[in-house]
Structure 1
Amino acid sequence: MKAFASRAAALWRRPAIRYGLPFLASAGIFALALTWRPAIAPIPVPPPASFPQAQVARGAVLARLGDCAVCHTVEGGRPLAGSRPLATPFGTLYSDNLTPDPDTGIGHWSAAAFRRAMKDGVSRDGSHLYPALPYEHFTHVTDDDLDALYAYLMTRRPVREAAPSNRLIPPLGFRPLLAGWKMLFLRKGPVATDPGRSAEWNRGAYLVEGLGHCGGCHTPRNLAGGENRSRAYAGGLAEGWRAPPLDRTNPAARAWTPDALYTYLRTGISPDHSAAGGPMGPVVESLSSVPEADVRAIATYIASRMAGRESPVRSRPTPDDPARAAGLFPQGATLFAGACAGCHGQGAPMLGQGRPALGLATNLRDEDPTSAIQAILLGLEPPVAGRGPKMPPFADSLTDAQIAAVLGYARSRYTDRPAWPNLDRAVARARKESAQQ
């Protein structure tokens, strides 16, 4: 014991230890102080009648524009009751209950607490929220719109539903770390108005950059999970699908116009482009019932971001070279004839009914094959009232090698793009990711 005390005393006499430890302790306390946020006092659950009906109706539209129910409703569960698993590279998060239930939802939240969560990513109790709630974008929404959204949520039927515990890679479950993430990636402030643009364009910019949080899927992310702002709208990943670029690098065979985008966002299909699949389906479903002017504003803004891209002109025909493709992918040609040609082959009765030809499909032209793979694995469902193209899933009937062969054949036959490299591995990876969603 005396020897231990003697060694400890000797260590303490060293300047690096004597002055360094108190400095590190002070720095640690200071860092924790920076992450601390006070709790906001709970309020009695406000009666639904206390909110003006006009405000609630406006909030209902904003909720659809923000796709709130998409992430906050578990499959087969009650709307907005949360508990939906959200897979991330860092583990699985579960969405919160947004109904006014006093124990498991936001029933005791004030409007101020709700605004803080949306703008600062801080819960009513002062804990930091994970950016699966896209407060990177919601921070740009006006207080009036957030108050209307709050009014809508607080007038929903309460549902008692506690979300499961998150399953994250250690030490990411330590929420104070999120304060550092926000210092790096959270940029507050309103969406700047461009006086040189129309009111419709500026409305679209506000919706896309704010509640619509389109960049959350269509912008690549860095290793820390923040959006790479220097490559805004250059394409990203969403629930195992590829969100294509919404900038000048968009791979569509024909340039997107505001009218084409409006039709696509409203119905899930553009005859000159493609059909909505994967996570885009619920987005279309939400946008199908909001005011037309808002969807047109979104389309106008996004079309302007893609303007000026280098792409084939509208009058240029899309390729169709079955002989060349069969020479490169003979197995793919056989599989395509048996499984795909009935709907996609030349003269198929389903073509020419508002459905885009394969040569126009963005997924088939993209430099990343992920969404084309997922469309074959999982199929496509019409997002709006059963209207639009439907494609059955082939995950159980085709192997990874067969899917790679079919896609290699289709890309070679219907596009002028180079073959995807390592397609077998890409199919195996996409199948694994879709199984985890």
Structure 2
Amino acid sequence: MPPVQRPAASSFDPALVKQGSDLAAVGNCVVCHTAPGGKPFAGGLAMPTPFGTIYSTNISPDEATGMGRWSEAAFTRSMREGVDREGRHLYPAFPYDHFTLVSDADNRALYAYLMTREAVPYEPPPNALPFPLNMRMTLAGWKLLFLREGRFQPVPGQDEAWNRGAYLADGLGHCGACHTPRNILGAERKGDAHWSGGEADGWSAYAINAQSPAPIPWDVDSLTRYLHTGWEQRHGVARGPMAPVNANLGTIPQSESRAIATYVASVMGEPSSERRQRAERLLAADAAHSPGALASSAGSQTVPSPHDPADRGAAIYAAACSTCHDAGRPLPYGGLRLDHSTAISGPTPLNPIHVILHGLPAPEGARGPMMPGYAGVLDDAQIADLLAYMRRSFSDQPPWDDPAAMIAEARKDGVKGVWALDTGSDAPANPSKRDMP
């Protein structure tokens, strides 16, 4: 499409720009289109894929390197067809297979928002893809197989909140991009595999359908709170690539999070009687994981009970984990009871490995949960022992396969994908602690 004169920021209705800001938050646009240490929307974030590394594009309104000379029609076409202004196919790391569902009105608002951001002159690095994947014409075949264009159509018989949630989750929110497994060509698998779990930035994205491994089933209220604040008292705090998703959702009306939660809860469906009974037992249990296992002291600390000296995992847990996770302090500052943890009941130990190694960094200048990392304290064998102990003690699932390779890889990758979670004013102050100067 032909280039246009860059529209003046003042030419856009402020209400339309605000609408676009909220929509961009749902789409998590700034996270993918901002490199570490770079300016917002200037691109350059490296996105490793099984096929090579793709760098996000500059979507700031810079006229030379960004979208400053794109028309609204060119922007809408990119969202719906995965084609840039010059007519080149875009790689589906830009999830246009979801964005094709976005309405004309919302694309107009997104365009208004992006064209009123700071124009940043920056050329992201070239993609590092092997032949023939570095030839964009190969994407025409991928689209023929997997791209189904079309606007979102409300589902008859479902209420407004459900349809709004479906529109946001399957469209701009592109939940399936992380939470759905992919085939050998990198496309999301369909049918029963929808939302059955995937991977994002080296972290597990749990199943959010009927296969959810959460020991305590989610409902609309708990999902709403988690999506909007990044933590929920019976499910824990967001970590990994989910943390910035929650941070963005927390900036927009809670009604949007509730709509998404309404839809997600319906996809998960009603838990089986067995799952519900187990959840009721967990919720009715004492704060300690087993009767007499721990004795409280100093209000928020615990004294671990004697353990089998031959069980290294139990000894490590008692020394490094128990004082937070068994203390009974409420979230988000206390440690989650691990028999409530999706991570400990999940299909792989990948997420617990990341958290044990690298912890949860404290947000700068704000209240929020944190946890120290143990990469410099525990070696790979000790982490494996700790994982084995937690799996058999706090879940009813079979042992994980040997995690040695996962631990080594996570240690090598460092803190990639580890985000601080700023809970903002939602997180209550801890009344047992004095404010620090």
Distance 1:250 1:359, change over 3 A: same
Match of 1:244 among 187, 203, 206: 206
- For structure 2, the residue ranges without an aligned partner over 5 or more in a row are 294-303, 418-437
Distance 1:118 1:309, change over 3 A: same
Correspondence list, 1:112-191, <5 A = 112-191=73-152
Equivalent AA in structure 2 for residue 408 of structure 1: A
Q: CA deviation at 1:132?
A: 0.6
Is the aligned partner of 1:341 residue 2:322?
yes
Q: Aligned partners of 2:107, 2:281: CA distance in 1, in Å?
A: 46
Is the aligned partner of 1:262 residue 2:208?
no
- Give the SS at the match of 2:53: strand
Q: Larger deviation: 97-106 or 164-173?
A: 164-173
Is the aligned partner of 1:397 residue 2:358?
no
Match of 1:360 among 327, 330, 340: 340
Q: CA deviation at 1:434?
A: 5.2
| RMSD over equivalenced CA pairs, Å | 2.4
Q: Aligned partners of 1:285, 1:176: CA distance in 2, in Å?
A: 37
Distance 1:435 1:287, change over 3 A: closer
Q: Aligned partners of 1:404, 1:326: CA distance in 2, in Å?
A: 18
Aligned to 2:401: 421
Q: Aligned partners of 2:209, 2:316: CA distance in 1, in Å?
A: 35
Aligned to 1:303: 265
TM-score for both structures, normalised by structure 1: 0.86
Q: Is the 8 A contact 1:234 1:244 kept in 2?
A: yes
Q: CA deviation at 1:419?
A: 1.0
Match of 2:254 among 292, 295, 298: 292
Equivalent AA in structure 2 for residue 340 of structure 1: C
Aligned to 1:16: none
Q: CA deviation at 1:340?
A: 1.4
Q: Is the 8 A contact 1:98 1:153 kept in 2?
A: yes
Is the aligned partner of 1:98 residue 2:21?
no
Q: CA deviation at 1:383?
A: 7.1
Equivalent AA in structure 1 for residue 313 of structure 2: G
Q: Is the 8 A contact 2:359 2:373 kept in 1?
A: yes
Equivalent AA in structure 2 for residue 335 of structure 1: I
- What per-residue deviation string (whole Å, max 9, x for no partner) do you get for residues 139-164 of structure 1? 11011101110010001111111101
Distance 1:417 1:162, change over 3 A: same
- What per-residue deviation string (whole Å, max 9, x for no partner) do you get for residues 369-426 of structure 1? 1111111122224679744421122223322221111111111111111111112223
Correspondence list, 1:315-326, <5 A = 315-317=280-282, 320=289
- What per-residue deviation string (whole Å, max 9, x for no partner) do you get for residues 117-173 of structure 1? 111111111111101100010011011101110010001111111101111132211
Equivalent AA in structure 2 for residue 186 of structure 1: L
Is the aligned partner of 1:64 residue 2:25?
yes
Equivalent AA in structure 1 for residue 53 of structure 2: T
Q: Is the 8 A contact 2:332 2:368 kept in 1?
A: no
The percent of aligned pairs where both chains have the same amino acid is 45
Matched residue count: 397
Q: Larger deviation: 384-393 or 94-103?
A: 384-393
Match of 1:54 among 1, 8, 15: 15
- What per-residue deviation string (whole Å, max 9, x for no partner) do you get for residues 335-355 of structure 1? 1122212211x3365679675
Q: Is the 8 A contact 1:343 1:351 kept in 2?
A: no
Correspondence list, 1:70-89, <5 A = 70-89=31-50
Q: Aligned partners of 2:316, 2:236: CA distance in 1, in Å?
A: 22
Q: Aligned partners of 2:101, 2:310: CA distance in 1, in Å?
A: 49
Match of 1:371 among 346, 351, 363: 351
Equivalent AA in structure 2 for residue 183 of structure 1: L
Q: Aligned partners of 1:287, 1:268: CA distance in 2, in Å?
A: 9
- For structure 1, the residue ranges without an aligned partner over 5 or more in a row are 1-39
Q: CA deviation at 1:289?
A: 0.8
- What per-residue deviation string (whole Å, max 9, x for no partner) do you get for residues 51-92 of structure 1? 111111111111111100010011121111111111111111
Q: Is the 8 A contact 2:333 2:370 kept in 1?
A: no
Q: CA deviation at 1:428?
A: 2.3
Q: Is the 8 A contact 2:324 2:335 kept in 1?
A: no
Q: Is the 8 A contact 1:326 1:332 kept in 2?
A: no
Q: Aligned partners of 2:310, 2:266: CA distance in 1, in Å?
A: 38
Q: Is the 8 A contact 1:203 1:298 kept in 2?
A: yes
TM-score for both structures, normalised by structure 2: 0.86
Distance 1:238 1:188, change over 3 A: same
Structure with greater helix share of residues? 1
Q: Aligned partners of 1:153, 1:270: CA distance in 2, in Å?
A: 32
Q: CA deviation at 1:312?
A: 3.8
Q: Aligned partners of 1:260, 1:75: CA distance in 2, in Å?
A: 32
Which one has the largest radius of gyration?
A: 1
Q: Larger deviation: 174-183 or 185-194?
A: 185-194
Is the aligned partner of 1:235 residue 2:200?
no
